[in-house]
A and B are shown apart, each in its own frame.
Chain A
Amino acid sequence: MTITKIMEALRQPWQLQLVRFTPHMVVVLILAILPAVVPAYVQGTWTKFVIFALFALGYDLIYGHVGLLSLGHAAYFGAGGYTVAALMLHYNMDSLWVGLPLGILAAALVAAIFGFMALRVSGMYFLLVTFALGELLYSVTWNWKWLSTPGMQGISGLPRPDLGIPGFTWNTLSFYYFVLVVFLICFFLVHRIMNSPFGHALRGIRENESRTQSLGYNTWLYKYTAFIITGAFAGVAGVLFVYYNRLISPTHVGVATSFLPMIMVIIGGSGTLLGPVIGAFVIVFVEYFASLFTPERWPLILGAIFVVAIMYARGGINIHLSRLWQRLINRYGSTKV
């Protein structure tokens, strides 16, 4: 929303304004204020939700906007996370200002290599190849001893990031706000990309690649770039995850983790900004509750939710919610904002 649009909107009658802005206000409320008033263990889960919302949001660029189903996406998540973890393990480097950029770079690099190979084929083969490449990285994390604290699989005992501010220590809440800030920056970036000519071209490719090509777009380049960008966002999520979880292991780079952004995007609604966020919220919190009552059956529940969502909730929750809001807006005012 630009300044002019906000000014224009503020001149509307207050009922219309209330309805128009309520979704945004609710989101602000939930994200910024709620965590401050809940107990610490909920704050932790909330942090996890925001991290995965970021992962899902990035994933949606390649899935919702370009229309390519990339399996094995945990590879880029893991590339970012393991980079930060390895820096801390072997070089005692825990500075955020080194870890985060290097993590993003690593993830983008892996995405550049994998994406190049995967985009040599299309359709079904693309799916198979992205899946296999994801498994490749999983094997690497399992077998390469340099990526593990001695005596176990994975790296543990990781500290929170060092901001370089003297005397500053982290607590659960301040860490949450840190994650939220990173998330909001990425959210803003995705919003910009979505609405840019580049983003429009991506959707054109999704709708009809031939036509987009004949209009003058080098579609391969767009797909490749989008793939790398998605990988980079996954890397950010991976870095944040390692700071949050203080442990990373091969499981975090496996099939289960690759699954998560896909199911979040499907449930929440692809091709939109809020959809992946809603999906992340649902999955993270359902997992939390499931882990309290039936931790062994959680994968089964997740799989079942997934199957149901694919069969019946095609547009995702986001579509249903936005239709609801449309109806409310129509009831309270007929002028288009």
Chain B
Amino acid sequence: MSDVSFSVERGERLAIIGPNGAGKTTLFNLINGQMLPTSGKVFFWGQDITHMRAYSRAHLGQARSFQLISLFLNLSVLDNTLITLHGIKRSRFQMLRPTTAYTDLLAKAREILSPIDLWERRDELVRSLSYGEQRRLEIALTVALEPKLLLLDEPSSGLTSAESSEITDSICKLGRDITVLLVAHDMDLVFGIADRIMVLHYGKVVANGTPEEIRADPRVKEIYMGIEENAGNTTAT
């Protein structure tokens, strides 16, 4: 990445788009702490978090979903939920009380899992869920922590259009006290949610503006046209 500078307002929904390899996931890794930048700084609500470890950033209020589903496949739905909920609580160091003793968290888990029809199946292993169900669970868990900043990396990849519009709806319903950064290829999702769109290409910011501005921007068209042309060359007409 080079020379990427931008800021996000509280409550804003910023979508980051661009061709594969443009550096979108890298950007998330820098914000969330999986990678450290070679130069430049990251500020979170005025605080310099450039060198802060990933696990501390969760306590500041970041929550992230990953491009490849990263749920704990060999653990049950309930276990996944409880581990997520304990992450920012002091009780996460507790070695002697069983997790099920924390009835308030158990109730919260029920609140999270019931709307997505997973409370009944809470003892099933996550790997036995369908891909769509896993995605839904992952998004629900990421949102459940009521973070200040939500980082969603390709939340609708691999989903059917019906499932995608479900995701779009649930993100729209989120309150304006949560700021959302979204990486996506699904344009319906992007235009359905975004207040602003930023376009990355080869690690640089190419455009940054409202959806209408981006739609009209010739440089953006060129990037995507170029890709379509290449795709066109390989398909028979």
Q: Does A177 contact B (CB under 8 A)?
A: no
Given contacts A200-B79, A214-B58, A218-B55, contact A192 B96 (CB under 8 A): yes
**Distance in Å: Cβ of A269 to nearest Cβ of chain B:** 14
Task: Name which of B33, B62, B88, B96 has the most chain A CB atoms within 10 A of its CB.
Answer: B96
Q: Which A residues lie within 8 Å of B32 (CB)? A: 214
Chain B 23-41 interface mask (CB, 8 Å, partner A; 1/0)? 0000000001110000000
Within 8 A of A (CB), among B60-87: 62-64, 66, 70-75, 79, 82-84, 86-87
Which residues from chain A contact B173 at a C-beta distance below 8 Å?
A: none
| CB proximity to B under 8 Å, residues A107-132 | none
Smallest CB separation, B71 vs chain A (Å): 8
The reply to whether A201 and B95 contact each other, CB–CB distance below 8 Å, is: no
Question: Would B95 and A213 count as touching, CB distance under 8 A?
Answer: no
- Does B114 belong to the interface (CB within 8 Å)? no
Give the CA-CA distance A197 to B90 in the complex, in Å: 10
A58 within 8 A of B: no
Given A196-B97, A211-B66, decide whether A216 and B88 contact each other with a Cβ distance below 8 A.
Answer: yes
A213's contact among B55, B82, B91, B96, by CB below 8 Å, is which? B55
> From residue 72 to 131 of chain B, which have CB atoms closer than 8 A to chain A?
72-75, 79, 82-84, 86-88, 91-100, 102
Chain B residues within 8 Å of A169, by CB: none
**Which chain B residues numbered 171 to 187 have a C-beta less than 8 Å away from chain A?**
none
> In the complex, what residues of B have CB within 8 A of residue A193's CB?
95-96
- Chain B residues with CB under 8 Å of A15's CB are none
Residue A311 at the chain B interface, CB threshold 8 Å: no
A210 close to chain B: CB less than 8 A: yes
Contacts of B54 in A (CB 8 A): 210, 213-214
A196 contact set on B, CB distance < 8 A: 94-99
Using Cβ atoms and an 8 Å threshold, which residues of chain A touch B63?
A: 214
B96 & A215 in contact (Cβ 8 Å cutoff): no
Query: Is A298's beta carbon under 8 Å from chain B?
Result: no
Known: A193-B96, A196-B95, A207-B74. A201 touches B83 (CB 8 A): yes
In the complex, A210→B35 CA distance in Å? 11
Instruction: Give the residues from 116 to 175 in chain B that come closer than 8 angstroms, CB to CB, to chain A.
Output: none
Chain A residues whose C-beta falls within 8 Å of the C-beta of B70 in the assembled complex: 208, 210-211
Q: Which of A5-46 contact B (CB under 8 A)?
A: none
Pick the contact of B92: A192, A198, A207, A210 (CB < 8 A).
A198
Chain B residue nearest to A208 in the complex (CB): B70
Q: Which of A212, A216, A217, A219 has the most CB of B within 10 A?
A: A216
Q: Is A154 an interface residue (CB 8 A)?
A: no
| Contact between B95 and A192, CB atoms less than 8 A apart | yes
A203 within 8 A of B: yes
A213 vs B34: C-alpha distance when bound (angstroms): 9
- Closest Cβ of chain B to A72, distance in Å, is 25
**A216 near B87: Cβ-Cβ < 8 Å:** yes
Which among B34, B57, B102 is the interface contact of A210 at CB below 8 angstroms? B34
A83 nearest CB across to chain B (Å): 24
Q: Which residues of A contact B82 (CB under 8 A)?
A: 197, 200
Q: Does B59 sit within 8 A of A, measured CB to CB?
A: yes
Which of A192, A195, A207, A215 sits near B75, CB closer than 8 Å?
A: A207
B66 partner residues in chain A, CB cutoff 8 A = 210-211
B interface residue numbers (CB < 8 A to A): 32-34, 53-55, 57-59, 62-64, 66, 70-75, 79, 82-84, 86-88, 91-100, 102
CB-based closest 10 A-B pairs: A216-B58, A215-B87, A216-B87, A207-B72, A195-B98, A211-B70, A198-B95, A216-B88, A197-B86, A213-B54
Residues of A within 8 A of B (CB): 192-193, 195-201, 203-204, 207-208, 210-219
15 A–B contacts from the bound complex (CB under 8 Å): A192-B97, A198-B92, A200-B83, A203-B72, A204-B72, A204-B83, A207-B72, A207-B73, A208-B70, A214-B54, A214-B64, A215-B55, A215-B83, A216-B59, A216-B87
Known A192-B97, A213-B54, A214-B62; 9 more pairs at CB < 8 Å: A192-B98, A195-B99, A195-B100, A196-B95, A196-B99, A203-B72, A208-B71, A214-B58, A218-B55
